[in-house]
Every structure is written in C-alpha cells, then in structure tokens.
Structure 1
Amino acid sequence: MTEIGPAARDSPFHPSQAASPTTSLVLASTPSSVVTMPGTTLPSIPHYVPAPPTAESLEWADLPIIDISQAATPEGRAELAPRVRDAMRTQGFLYVVNHGYDQAKNERIFDIADLPFAHVPEDEKKLFAGNIKQTGSYRGYKLRRYWHIENGVHDQLEHYNLHRAITGDQKHPKALQPVLPEIRAFAEHNHFNVLHPLLRLLARGMELPEETFVNIHGFDAKGETYVRFMKYYPRSEEEESKTKNVWLKGHTDFGTITILWSQPVSALQILSPDGKWRWIKHIPNALVVNAGDAMEFLSGGFYKATIHRVVQPPADQRGYTRVGAFYFAMTDDDVKLVPFAESPVFERVDIVRKCDDADAPTMEQWRRGRTSAYGQSELKRKDEVVEEEVINGVVVKHYN
C-alpha cells in the first residue's frame, strides 16, 4: 500500500481522496495480466519488456541519493534539506528512492507508458497530435521528426503528454481509456508524494518558509504541469553520423522540477560542473530529479537549471526502444518568475537575474515561448558548442 506522508495528508487534495482504486493496490507485471484484488479489477494490458541494463563501463555522474520517505518528519526534512540544496546548487540532479511505489507498480507504469506508442494506430495518433508551435502546449502527441537536431536530421522520438487532471477537457486515444484512473493516480503520486516534499526541502535550503514553493504549485490551479510518456526509436547510421550520435542537444528544462522514472537504456547525460558530459546510471525504481529554468528564475540563480542531453545508447543497448515516464512540474500559470529576494541566503550570495524583475515572464509566458520555439526556431551559433535564441527577452542556450 502506498504510504501517504503527513505532508501529503495536509494538502488540499491528495491521493487518498482520488476516485482511482490504484493508489492502494499492488499491481502485477506479468504479460497481458489481469490484476484482481478484492472488489477491484484492473484492465489487462500488454507487458513492455525493457532492454537489459548496459554492461559497458561508462563514466557515470556521481549524484546523491535522497530517501524521500525521511521528508515525512521535521527531523528528516532538516537532515535532507542541506543535501538537496547542495545537489541543486552544483549538479542540479539527484536520485530519489523510497517514494512509495514498489517495483510491481513501477513496471505497471511502464506497461502503461508504452500503450500510446505500440498500441495506437498511426492514423489515430495524428488525431491527437498537439498543435505545439501555435499553442505553446505539449498536450497530446509530439510525433516523430518534429524537432530538427542537426544537419537536416530530425528526431526519432515521440511522446504523449497528459495534463495532470488527465480527464478534464483533454481527450485521449482509445487504448488509454481503460487506464486513465491509474494515470491520474500516478500524477497525484508524483505531485504530492514526490514534488511537494522536494519543494519543501528546496525552500528550507533557501531558509524560506517550507510552503513557499508548494503554494505556487497547485494541483487544481491553472497551469500546464503534465505526465509525459516518451519512446525513442533507433536511428540509422547515417543519422548518427550527421548528428555525432546526439539525439537531443544539450538543453535545460523550462519548468521548476522534472521527475524522470529511471529506466535501463543509458542515453541521458548531464554536463558536469567541470565541463564534462557524464552518463546517468539506471537505478531500479529510482527517480531522477532535476531543476529547470523556472526554479533558477525563482531562486535567483541559487539553484541551477542543469544542462542535459540524450545520445545514442552504448553498443549493447542499440536496437532497443527506450520508453520513459516523466512528471514535468511548473508553477501556476500566473506566477511571475522573479526571485524570492527575501531569502536570507541573499545576504551571503548574490542574486543572479536573467532579466530585470519588471520584464520577467510569467510561468505561462515562459513555457509557451519555450515550447513553441524548441526544435523549430533558427538558432544563432556562438561558437563550436553553444547556440542561442532569445525567448521573452531572455537568452536561451543550446549545447551541441
């Protein structure tokens, strides 16, 4: 049973109030399983079989591992806050474990994550494709070959994005209909049992009241926080050569916190403080968490939006697809992205602003601008590595 910590119980809406029965279930992970519990039956869906973890020797990033269950008590938060603070000020990435889902529930999520790709016909996918550039929203599908990578090569990944409310005014493909309650429970779990505890720790790290960031990340407020399922497909040797094996250029996320559910295909790399690209190692049933632009805005540069990229997997994993499950958190749409200058830490460190406070974008303006431009705009090359564009008056860098 998923344990809901005191922090989540204090929230205005948390998983224990959801209509979905999945919050307290232990889910099976056998192929095409029908899961039955007293009074409850979950739909049968195909089992996604991931690649085995790589056996190659790679240069892994050394990231701290945070036991988020400790955040349920004031003493635990006091112990964790400095570690989370230091991670987000240096690497900008960390692992989270003991988050409340067991391995069986984890596998069920990846079975669900593969549904919009392997079990939705191409014609139906097109019906649910997002009008990304015009709307500045990723809701629905981003189909393959939408983003330009390099030298005329476009991406070979697709993703499906569900607003955190899951149902609301967003319609979904037929294959997803039976599992929408489970996806809703997954969104709630990420929001209340992972995101909010992390936000409390980040606020403590800036010596701000614990609820400072939580108060601007409402579950029911107007905003675009979403669940994303993603699938990468292998590319041709010609495409790998033209892009120097880069699948997605180095970039920062534009929200506050990104929660990635660890999966075994090694492809994600981060740009370490020493300027070297290092691989993110898979830890079963762990979460990989990083800060984005909005958190850097709000923290006055105290926390870093870390540059990361996706590259061709090591040789023993090539030929496999790579399915991902994410929770991309953003503040409420109307939040102006200016630093919390009242933080006592700014008595000791300087505030680093990306623009004047008067010119700072709202969360809605920033995510619409970043979403519309990504992979579609003409970038200005600064040197052999960095390309730039300007969004809402702020310089955004991409690393090739």
Structure 2
Amino acid sequence: MPATTLPPAPRWVPPPPTKENLDWADLPIIDFSKASTPEGRAELAPRVCDVMRTVGFMCIDWASLTDDQTDRIFDIGDVVFTQVPEAERMQHASKLAEEGSKIGYKPRQLWTIDNGVRDQHEQYACHRTVYGGQKHPKALEPFLPELRAFSEFNHYDVLHNILRILALGMELPEDTFVKMHGFDAVGDSHARWIKYHPRTEEDESKTNSVWLKGHTDTGTVTILYSQPISALQILSPDGKWRWVKHIDNALVVNIGESLEMLSGGFYKATIHRVVQPPADQRGRTRLGTYYFALADDAVRLVPVASPALAQGDVARKFADERAPTMGEWRRMRYMAYGLKEAVPVGGDVARQEKIVENGVLVLKYYN
C-alpha cells in the first residue's frame, strides 16, 4: 500500500464479534506465508487442494496487510455509501441488467429475494485496473491510488498464488490458471464493497431471515476480508448450514462455478448464503470487502487436460464445442441473479429453485 500521506476518510467502526453460541463451520486455517515461493507452494498444495475439494472454503492466515491497512480499505469502501449523494451514486450505476457487468454501483431493492421482498444491500464494484475506463464518484477520486494498490495486491499476491497452488494440485504447470487471469486483459475481476442494511421483521418473516439465497459464485475464486458481523453461512458436506466465524485480518476463500468448469469438476463450486445476523448484532449495517476473480472474458470454460483426472472423472457442464466463454457465462449469470423468475426444482420450492434459458441451467438457488 502507498506509504505517502493519505487523504482522510471517515472511520468505519464495526461492532465486536457476536457472543452467540452459533453452529460454526469448521473452516481450515491455512498459513499462507510460504505461498510466495515455489517450494512453499509445493508444500502447501496437498493441504490446500484437499480442503478446496472437500470443504470448499478455507481461511488464509497471512499478515501481508497490517490491521491498519485492512481497516483503511473498509474506511475507503464506505466512502461511496456515506459521502456520495444518491443521485451521484446512480450516475455510476452498473450495467447489471443490460450488459451483465457488476462494475459500478448497485442500489438497494434491485433484486427479488422471496415472497415479493427485495434486497436491502448496496454494492460498489471497482474494476481491478481502477483507471481503465471506469469513472468513479468524485469523493472516491483521492483514494484511487490506494484502490489500485489494493487490486494489485489481491490479484498478484493472493489470487495468483492460490491459482498456482490449485494448478499444482491437479498436477499441472503452476501458471495454467494464472495465464487465464491477466490483470490488463479484458475481463470483470474486481474489488467490491457490499453494505447490508437491516430489514423489517415482516421482511425477515417472509424470507425466513435469508438475505441472499444459497448460491455458488459465478467466477473462479472469491476472496472475502473477514469482518465481525456474522451473516455468511456455508452448506456443509452433511447438508447443514453453518456460520462462518470472524478471524481478525484473515481472508476467506472459496471456489466459483467457472473454476469448477475449468477443472473438470476437480474443484467444486461451494454453496453459501447470507442471513440475518445473530441477535446481539441485529440492527447494525454490515460492510463487506471482497475481491471477485473471473477468468479473462475470452477464456472458454472447458476442462483443462490434467493427469489428476481420469477420462471418466471429467465433469462437464457443457459439451466442449458448446462451452461458453467467461464473458458469455458471467453475462448469463449476472443478468439472471435476482432479476429473473426462478422455478422450483422437483416441485419443492422450499429446497431448490432454478433458472433455465434455452435449455441451459444458468443458475440454481439452494434454500
């Protein structure tokens, strides 16, 4: 991060972690300090790959950013929501419904959650290049150098090393997946801040306290900066929803649909959802910081040839000749989530719903 004098930003002060005795997910904590060397990555690969094939989520314990630097990123992320007038925010609205891109601002109540209830969270997604064609609200402009450094850190230091380790787990050259994630290539990888606002008790009742339905992410790898308000749950292998516990300055990492396709099912996209926080944290807004990685738009989502996959073990969502590119897939998914009507799977709306277009299963909700 830049070492020069930094422009002031209002402090984002979250509440302390919950004291509720919740059913916590047993997420493996990986010491990522060795990931910067080939020898260290080779040592980490068996453990990381086993975790990402079974649990599907992991916590990275890695003090590459200091606590103050992480706090600063949350402060900057909140600027868009608190220091920019609504009319100006809407001037920077994403082309989500029109073009299938999340770059820019998403207002509250854009998506339908359930029983007519619409979402109560807003987002701001900053393209990883920061300056490359995206215009930002005026209040955010002083922070653009820091946001660029933050994107570079996530892309090169965190994402690329995760991708190298995942390639090693498939007995592939380290750069197999890295080459599909160019920083300056055409693509939608981005840093994003999501601010969840409290809902009415009526809305909580109508949605069974679910704020975002169970789903898998569209891209390849999602990096979440742990924060104290508990709301994220993962679907454990035993079919139970469990809470993700806050760990100071840790990163929570999961696999998305696109990497599942690229790996031929070797790595599974992981199912998660967002729900109402526990009782001692209700009524508070929840700010999250993320880096959502997607392969370059031109990458076709066909399985890589891997010695770790016997021919019969390769799982394909599409026949190779019909497989979409990353750009096509993210547009299909982004233009469907929360915007198009889902239908029950097997007539059981309480469990799963799906969106099918032109015979293609675009999206599935897990309730």
Q: Percent identity?
A: 61
CA distance in 2, matches of 1:285, 1:92: 20
CA distance in 2, matches of 1:161, 1:71: 27
CA distance in 1, matches of 2:91, 2:15: 30
CA 1:375/1:213 → structure 2, altered by over 3 Å: closer, same or farther? same
Aligned to 1:272: 236
Q: 1:1-400 maps to which residues of 2 (within 5 A)?
A: 22-23=1-2, 25=3, 40-340=4-304, 342-347=305-310, 350-382=313-345, 383=348, 384-390=350-356, 393-400=360-367
In the TM superposition, what whole-angstrom CA distance separates every residue of 1:201-222 from its partner, at most 9, and x where no partner exists? 0000000001000011000011
CA 1:365/1:121 → structure 2, altered by over 3 Å: closer, same or farther? same
Give the deviation of 1:75 after TM superposition.
Answer: 2.5
Give the deviation of 1:74 after TM superposition.
Answer: 2.6
Q: Secondary structure of the equivalent of 2:78?
A: helix
CA distance in 1, matches of 2:134, 2:209: 35
2:143 partner letter: V
1:386 partner letter: Q
Any conservation in 2 of the 1:99–1:193 contact (CA below 8 Å)?
A: no
Any conservation in 2 of the 1:67–1:99 contact (CA below 8 Å)?
A: no
Q: Secondary structure of the equivalent of 2:159?
A: helix
Q: TM-score, normalised by structure 1?
A: 0.89
CA distance in 2, matches of 1:333, 1:215: 12
Any conservation in 2 of the 1:355–1:394 contact (CA below 8 Å)?
A: no
How many residues are treated as equivalent by the alignment? 363
Which runs of 5 or more structure 1 residues have no equivalent in the other structure? 1-21, 26-39
Give the deviation of 1:348 after TM superposition.
Answer: 8.1
Q: Secondary structure of the equivalent of 1:44?
A: coil
In the TM superposition, what whole-angstrom CA distance separates every residue of 1:114-135 from its partner, at most 9, and x where no partner exists? 1111111111111111231111
Any conservation in 1 of the 2:117–2:207 contact (CA below 8 Å)?
A: yes
In the TM superposition, what whole-angstrom CA distance separates every residue of 1:86-117 from its partner, at most 9, and x where no partner exists? 11111211011215101110110111111111
CA distance in 1, matches of 2:83, 2:18: 27
1:360 partner letter: A
Q: TM-score, normalised by structure 2?
A: 0.97
CA 1:194/1:349 → structure 2, altered by over 3 Å: closer, same or farther? farther
1:197 partner letter: N
- Aligned-pair RMSD on alpha carbons? 1.2
CA 1:47/1:247 → structure 2, altered by over 3 Å: closer, same or farther? same
